[in-house]
Each structure stands twice: as structure tokens, then as C-alpha cells.
Chain A
């Protein structure tokens, strides 16, 4: 089975966000595999171990992304592909990323493509469904369970807390929701092996794309931090009085109840 995982390198969730020169300040920040993409990688490895085949992890990014791709290889993926847009693109949006990924994937005869349902930085959740549409294959987003029997697939999808049981077939793209699995940590032998696994680097040229083909349709004109929240009022006195005061404040001062 040809299994592909779409991966993004993101800020560590522990990081505080600061802005310098109108951009998110990346100096000294820790980067990780987008947490939802970790579920995708884990699921891909499990599907391969059960059904045979190969897991290829792809990322659109820059040189730094190699580190996260090596981590994916250390978890157990077989190959990694970095599509490095650093020299070609100043700015891309989800149209850009999906176009690049689908150009790469179009002749790969992927049976299963797994992505995270959203990246925790940009938070748009568009790339998975866009890629499926560009490849003209079905997709199911925010899945919490995946069962494959031959080319028939049963998926459980999280829909705002309810679950849908969906039947579909390969080739298929799914996006991972929390609860799908428990991503493994790379083992020491895994890390050693990963160093020798293939990590190919491509640029737009290699995909017969030029900058105009993938030019963003949207543009960010400003980035800012939300106003800092002032610490509020910690109530005092007898517990029952505190609760009465709280109800009164919420009703009469904040007017939210």
C-alpha cells in the first residue's frame, strides 16, 4: 500500500508568541511536528504494519524542516520528502501548499493519504481537503478511527462531539483528530536507522511549477497580539458569600448571565 503523510513543522505548543518587525518572532523558538500530524504519522505506520507497503512523509517547508522529517523517519516512516520553497516563495497560503503537494502526489498512485486535521499555527485546516479535491479522491476529515479491509474503508469521524460512521474506499485522504491513536516516541534504534533512511529534497522546478502557478490568493497584512488580560478579582470571605457575590457580579456587572 502506498501511504503518504502530509506533515507541517510548527511552533512548540509551549512557546509564547512574540512579534518583531511585524512577524512572529522565531528566534530561539522550539519547533515540533504539528501535533495532529503526529497522529497521522502514527496511523500511517500502523496501517503499513498491518497491510504492508511504504510510508512516505512529505512536507512543504524550508531546510529546518529536515529535523521534523527525521523525527518522522525515526518513528518508523520509510521515506521523507522535503519540498523546499525557501528560495522560491516569500509568501504562500493554503492554495499554494495544496497545489504544490498535489503536483507532487498526482503521479504517485497513493492509496491512502493522511494529514492532521489542522495545524496549530495557521489553524486553517484547508490543506487536506484541498489536496484530495485536486487529486480527485474522496476525503474524510477529523477521524478518530480507521479500518481498512481490502479497498473498503470504514472511518469514524468526530463531528462536534458526535461520531459519524462512514463507509468509503481507497484511494482516500483522511485527516487525523485527537483520539485516533497514541503517537509513539522515536526509539533509540529508530533514531539511528532514521539517519540512513532516504530524505529527498525537491524545489518547485522539480515539480515543473513556477512561482506564478502557486501564487497565494490571500495575503496577511498585519499580525498582532491580543490585548493582555489584566488579572481579575479573587473573591474573599465565607464561601457561600463569595458565590453570591460572583453570581451578582456576573449578572449585574459583567451582564453575561
Chain B
């Protein structure tokens, strides 16, 4: 069954996020040969339409308004609902990002529809579209199908491969004008925290610290390693509870669940709650003084040693490697 599927392209700091290209790939699977329509919402987003098409969207609808400069659930839902009214899609795919998590349930409630959140894989099997998603923070997985109405899913960053970019692809770009009004939440200020650069949920490489990091300053060598690898810094609950870092860095059953290509655990013992948040990473490296630490049970590679000795040498070796590459 072919479907028309809308994909919300997500813009941050003027660029499309990777997860939007992954969402297009997911939408292609969902469409089963039908049309994939990219949707861009913001105050200045038209210029990004071409890139959505190059990554596989058939055409793009944009809604530009000064009131859409920042994400608010009211503003964005009015914009998206206008596109849904005009396009009457049978499928909707958003990224499972801060924005997608916040917005998708509101849209689903407006449409009286189901919503399958945090999807890591999808396939057509036995005449059904089957969505795979982690439950119990990755301790188990479930396969779900939609039994009634719209197919609506949010996809977890870093799990579904985007299609290859095709710069020769073209498609229609149209704009829709929507009267955005009655915003009930107003963003007064955005405070950018130390987590500069790469976001944890989208990072390909994560360098995480635990109690073994010992202090706030103890994160410095980890930050340097993350920088060389263009990765992000994360932490265990132990490190957050001890105030070595902000809770926003916490990875685990409470905190973020991450699936990077490379996870380097430094001074993390490996409590079950932490393992739930990271054990589905593609490659795990453990650096810990205690050879009996639980983290070695899930690590692909382990070094038994003091992270303050190991991490700086590791940073230096990667630096050499990447300069030569």
C-alpha cells in the first residue's frame, strides 16, 4: 500500500540536523512507493529545501513566520496541522529529539492517532509496517505495528541510515502561509551550557566519565579526548550525583539512552542502570582501575588502568592518527 508521508525537517543553528535525513529514509520505507514530502518550519528555512530533496524527499512544503523562529508547541503544531490539512498524509515521521518528543504527542492527540516513539528500525514484513523500539531503556526491544489510522513515528537519531545524497535530484518547493497566533508558552532566554558542539543523542563518539573522574576538573581530559574525536562528553549517575557535572550529561536508565558508534567509558564501574543507557553502542571501550568492574563485561576493548594516565595518551595517539589521516 503506497502512502503519502510527511517528514519534519529539523533545523538547528541554521542547518538541518542529521536526524532529518534519517527520517526521510524512514519515510521512504513507510511510503512503500508513495510520495515523501518534507516540511520545514521556521523564520528562514526555504534555503534548506534543496537539501531535503537531495536526501530523498520528493517535494518540500515550507512555512515561514517570525513567530516560528523558536520552537514552541503551539506555534509548530499550528504550522504542522496546516500542512496536514492541506496534504492529508497517511504517514508522519519526526526525529525523536527534544523537539520531536515535545511536539509529536500533541499532534497525535489532535489527530486522535497512535504514535510509535523512539524507533530504531522499521521494515515491511508480512504486509505490515513493523517498527522496532527499545523498552526498559534498551534492556529489551519491542516490535510494534499501527492498528488504526495514521502511521506516526519518531525515530531515534543515529540508528536508521540516511539515503545517499544525490545533488542532481530536484523537486517542487511550495510555501504555505499560516496565521500563527495565541502562543501560550514564550521562550524568554536560551542558556547554552558547556555541552558545546555535538549533542549527546546524535554524537557518533561519546567519552563518558564516572565516579573515577573524581571532580569537575577531572572531566577536562575527557573533554579533550571528545574534542579530538569530534564527540560529546557524557557521564554516569555517580558522577552527576557527586556534582562533577550537570545532570543533562547523564547516560542510563534515568538520563539519556545513547547508541553511538564508539563509547569510551572512563572510570565508570558499570551499574545495571548505566549499562541500560549505553550497552547498545556499536563499540565500547572501558578504562577502569578495577579489573573486576562490571563495565568490562560489555566492553569490546578494555584497558585496566588509571584514566588520568590513559586518557591523555589516548588523546595524543588519536591526534597523531587523525592528523595523518
Contacts and interface: CB of A to CB of B under 8 A. Distances in A.
Interface of A: 11, 13-14, 16-17, 19, 24, 35-36, 93-95, 98, 120-134, 138-142, 144, 154, 158-169, 177-179, 215-226, 229, 231-235, 239-240, 242-244, 246-247, 249-251, 254, 256-257
Contact of B105 (A94, A162, A251): A94
A249 B284 CA distance: 12
Contacts of B147: 216-219
Contact of A17 (B136, B143, B204): B136
B144 A226 contact: no
Contacts of B73: 129, 138-139
B323 interface: no
Contacts of A177: 247
Interface string B224-251: 0000010000000000100000111110
B144 A219 contact: yes
B160 interface: no
A48 B255 CA distance: 27
Interface in B234-285: 240, 246-250, 253-255, 257, 261-262, 272-273, 276, 279-280, 282-285
Given A166-B187, A221-B144, A254-B283, 14 more contacts: A24-B135, A123-B137, A126-B105, A131-B109, A133-B109, A161-B199, A221-B145, A224-B140, A224-B143, A226-B279, A233-B300, A234-B299, A246-B301, A257-B262
B168 interface: no
Task: Please indicate which of the listed interface residues A95, A216, A244 has the most CB atoms of chain B within 10 Å of its own CB.
Answer: A95
Contacts of B298: 229, 231
Interface of B: 73-74, 97-98, 101-102, 104-106, 108-110, 112-118, 128, 130, 133-149, 184-193, 195, 199-201, 204-205, 229, 240, 246-250, 253-255, 257, 261-262, 272-273, 276, 279-280, 282-285, 291, 296-305, 309-310, 313-314, 317-318, 321-322
Nearest to A232: B300
A161 B190 contact: no
B189 to A, nearest CB: 4
Contacts of B114: 93-95, 216-218
Contacts of A139: 73, 106, 185
A129 B189 contact: no
B145 A218 contact: yes
A169 B285 CA distance: 47
A125 B118 CA distance: 9
**Which of A16, A142, A221 has most chain B Cβ within 10 Å?**
A221
Contacts of A36: 254
A123 B140 contact: no
B308 to A, nearest CB: 12
Contacts of A256: 204-205, 261-262, 282-283
Contacts of A93: 114
B interface: dominant SS: mixed
B303 A235 contact: yes
Contacts of B113: 95, 217
A136 B25 CA distance: 34
Given A161-B195, A246-B285, A247-B314, A219 B301 contact: no
A120 B313 contact: no
Contacts of B309: 239
B302 A235 contact: yes
B115 A160 contact: no
A232 B135 contact: no
Contact of A120 (B137, B186, B187, B249): B137
Nearest to B133: A123
Contact of A133 (B105, B186, B273): B105
A131 B108 CA distance: 11
Contact of B102 (A127, A141, A161, A179): A141
